[in-house]
Structure 1
Amino acid sequence: MGNSHNKSNNYRNFKQSTTSERDRQSYNSQFSLSHFVGNLSGRSFQSVTSNQSVYSASRPWSRVSRRGWNEATLRNPLEASKTAWPVAHKESIFLPEFPITTDLLQQDFHIEETIAKGAFGQVYKVKKVSEDKEYALKVLSKAQIVNQNAIRQVKEEARIQTACGHHSFIAGAVSRWQTKKRLYIVSEYIPGGELLSLLDKYGKLPEELVKIFVAEIAIALDFLHNAGVIYRDLKPENILLDSDYHIQLVDFGLSKWLSIGSRTSTLCGTLKYMAPEVLSREPYGHAVDWWSLGVIVCRMLTNEYPTPAVVRRATEFDAENEPKENNPEESLIITKNNLEKQSPQCRPPGTLPESAAILTNASRGLLLRLLETDPRVRMRNLRQLQQSAFYMGFNFEHVKARKVPPKSIFKRHLLDELPETSGENVKEMFASFDQVKIV
């Protein structure tokens, strides 16, 4: 009896140990390393053990379309918790500024016309079908950006415009995304065109209108500088006009985060508007933007430019050997240190054109302070501009609130200067005035 009882207990223990060993083996095989590695398809660990997504978990990520993936997340909220790993290098280098989504260009936007061309792509006027609203769509080539080592520049441009685009005198960015080959940036569409087009069409502008334009530009610059941004490419091509001809700053491709009082030394910008300290490779700060503003003010008041900070060598006036305008290394930099080495015909940078002699003393004083070669003496903030004689009695608060439409001022001065003509001719002229477009 005792032996049979012992045998029964031994058999029961053996059966239990066998069963537990079998369960342990089954459990281990389910989560074995080989099984886990074999199912690395861009999904999370949880998806491997999910009974509802066995096929999607084992399917290679290379065979899953991105559009199908996004649609699946809409139908099944649990799909959104799965991770798409690994992300291709050509996409990850532009994250997180440019999210990875489907090609919204084909789905949501209808291209109407090309309005500008840049170094990395083009800008289109588009209409968003769902809203029936016009936008500006910038399409950039990833290959060109990578080849020119401009990844950081493009990402910084996106961050700056996102942080500062809410200002009333800065064009706002609506959205941005990337596909495998391109970057897309959707911005507000500015219908009035470039300030350069207005200057080319009408030459000198009335002083009352110049006050409004300069005040709005200065308010935008002051906001950027206080936000820790240096613009570095202020020129009429980058100043757009809205339907009432309020200014809108665009294109932050050369902008950089730079706190007040800090310095940088990168050689960049447009030669005609570059401050002397930029070309002389000296550390410079936000004062370079105010020099560029001085060049623009001179152009608006006189229809001419002051003496630039860079001129060509006398030995290079031959047409065959003329240096390219976009290569500052082939040009002669003129600063206070080498003025005495030049011929008497060379004028110091910032010298006003002869046509500026007919300007009022207040206008000339403003230009001289903005075009001061020494950045420590140069007018370089909004408070100094407000205290200048040019803006004596001027209400900057009305400008900040956009209470004074520049377009109405321009039309009023234009009517005063018109010769006697028929009403039909006046209508035709104003129709062409309203059709200033981006060149």
Structure 2
Amino acid sequence: MEENGRVQLKKERKGFCRKLRDWFNWKRRARKQEGKNFIGDNVPVEKDIERVYCSDMVEAKLKNYSMINVIGQGAYGKVLLAESKATKELYALKVIQKNPLKPQKTFDRFRIEKKILETSRNNPFIVKFHSSFETPSKYIFALEYVNGGDLRRYMKKTGKLSEDSVKFYLSEIIVGLNFLHSMGIAHRDLKPENVLLDKDGHIRITDFGLSKIGLNGNKKTRSLCGTPAYLAPEMIGCKGYGFSVDFYALGIIMYEMLTGNEAFVYAREQRRTLCQRLFGKRKTVGITDISEEASAVLKGFLQKNPKKRLGCHPQSGFQQMVSMPFFKAIDWELLKAKKVIPPYKPPLSGRTDISNFNSKFRAQEPILTSESK
């Protein structure tokens, strides 16, 4: 592209255009070999993704649902509670706005998240996928409605949790993560807001918008993404990483559950920008009033060196975690069958009760049309 500004003669312009065309064709072949599409290709539509472009068809599809309330919102879009008019089932509709400047990237993220949700459909600790469809301006997932709110809201309500409660939530998250990792999936945005509680108090891991697939074997990735307070050192340093970043984030969640506070403190001036939050000096806040067993697990998860981090051994990571003295009382088979009684059952007055979600979301108008945001 830099050469374009120096091209003067007609012969030179032809040569430049030929080089550009050759590069374009080479890039297209390389992308196709990776199973991706290049801009300019006719993007094939997966058979199980319903694309709806006619405005009448879009409105007809959306009219299959009765919108009840907004229950969440993020940079991607929002989540609405909706009822199917045909079956009367409740669903959480996750609406992802398309980026008109990067349409292929948005489609790739949607395709990856859909693949993860389909792969995890039968796991008891991952939110269940029902269906998806696409409109001219957005992608929409119909997901299981998990009505107990998220772990962050529960932690704010309760303050620090007992070690028995921490043990229960960590165990269910570990089982969910172990399944994802066995399928070559790294979550990369694990935090209390992405851990939901169902009506009985069991957890559901959700939001795979930043997840990475294909990390089988020794494959690694280098992308910097996620929530600053939960980023592992190897991700901040842009070093190659795999599943290790999820266990570091799990250590941060464990710390917050045990103390009711943030894991790291920053100088007041360092809280102002994202770069300062990421790369500024982070000082760990110590804890003294926890058992030695809990302390050993916490230190294991928060190891700076991923090779020494608890759970990160490629073959024996899960066994290493379950054999820790802190988890000695857990019957893992009963836990996987959801036969262990949760320490907390969310209060619910009915099937459409949304009191466990943030009031600032609930105050919004539950409008979803083909062009709404």
Partner of 1:410: 344
Q: State the partner residue of 1:294.
A: 251
Aligned position for 1:333: 279
1:337 — aligned with what? none
**Equivalent pairs, count:** 305
Aligned residue for 1:187, secondary structure, equals: strand
More helix by share: 1
**Does structure 2 retain, via aligned residues, the 8 Å contact 1:197–1:436?**
no
Distance 2:320 2:203 in 1: 21
- Give the Cα separation in 1 of the matches to 2:322 and 2:277: 36
* Equivalent residue number for residue 95 of structure 1: 45
Q: Deviations over 1:305-357 (max 9, x none)?
A: 3237xx56x8x55xxxx643xx33x55636xxxxxxx7xxx63xxx3x34x20
- Tell me what 1:156 maps to: 112
1:114-161 residue CA offsets vs partner (Å, 9 max, x unmatched): 011122321100000111111001222224573694332222111111
Q: Given the alignment, which residue of 237, 242, 245 partners 2:198? A: 242
1:292-311 Cα deviation digits (max 9, x unpaired): 00110111111123237xx5
Find out whether 1:285 has 2:231 as its counterpart. no
User: Secondary structure at 1:229's aligned position in 2?
Assistant: coil
Q: 1:144 to 1:201 in 2, by over 3 A?
A: farther
C-alpha displacement of 1:105: 4.2
Give the corresponding residue for 1:370: 301
Larger radius of gyration: 1
The 2-side partners of 1:135 and 1:396 are apart by 30
Q: State the match for 1:86 in structure 2.
A: none
The 5 A counterparts of 1:212-361 are 212-257=168-213, 258-307=215-264, 316-317=269-270, 323-324=272-273, 327-328=274-275, 330-331=276-277, 333=279, 347=283, 351=284, 353-354=285-286, 356-361=287-292
Q: Structure 1: which amino acid aligns with 2:279?
A: I
Change (3 A) 1:373 1:331: same
SS in 2 for 1:215: helix
Higher relative contact order (CA 8 A, sep 6+): 2
TM-score by length of 1: 0.64
Do the aligned partners of residues 370 and 117 (structure 1) sit closer, same or farther apart at CA in structure 2, a change above 3 Å counting? same
Moved more, 99-108 or 214-223: 99-108
Structure 1's 121 and 331: CA in aligned 2 closer, same or farther, altered over 3 A? closer
Q: Which amino acid aligns with 1:128?
A: S
Note the residue ranges of structure 1 that are not aligned, 5 or more in a row.
Answer: 1-88, 335-341, 412-428
Equivalent in the alignment of 1:111: 67
Whole-Å Cα distance in 1 between the matches of residues 304 and 197 of structure 2?
30
- C-alpha contact 2:98 2:106 (8 A) present in aligned 1: no
Q: 1:191 aligns with which of 147, 153, 158?
A: 147
What whole-Å deviation, never above 9, does each CA across 1:353-404 have from its counterpart, x for those lacking one? 34x2011111111100110100000002321111111012321111101001
SS at match of 2:264: coil
Q: Could you tell me how far apart the structure 2 residues matched to 1:129 and 1:403 are?
A: 33
CA distance in 1, matches of 2:237, 2:306: 13
Determine whether 1:397 maps to 2:347.
no
Aligned to 1:204, the other structure's residue is in SS state: coil
- Report the residue type matching 1:397 in the other structure: E
Q: How far, CA to CA, are the matches of 1:207 and 1:410 in structure 2?
A: 13
Q: Partner residue of 1:181?
A: 137
CA RMSD of aligned residues (A): 2.7
Instruction: Give 1:218 deviation, angstroms.
Output: 0.2
2: CA distance, partners of 1:206 / 1:116: 28
Distance in 2 (CA, whole Å) between partners of 1:244 and 1:436 is: 15
Q: What is the rounded CA distance, in whole Å, between the counterparts of 2:70 and 2:82 in structure 1? A: 9
The structure-2 alpha-carbon separation of the partners of 1:90 and 1:323, relative to structure 1 and needing over 3 Å to count, comes to: farther
Q: Name which of 353, 356, 363 aligns with 1:437.
A: 356
Kept after mapping to 2: 8 A contact 1:198/1:436 = no
Structure 2's unaligned 5+ residue stretches are: 1-38, 312-316, 359-373
**Residue 213 of structure 1: how far off its partner (Å):** 0.7
Any conservation in 2 of the 1:120–1:145 contact (CA below 8 Å)? Answer: no
Residue pair 1:216, 1:399 contacting (<8 A) in 2 also? yes
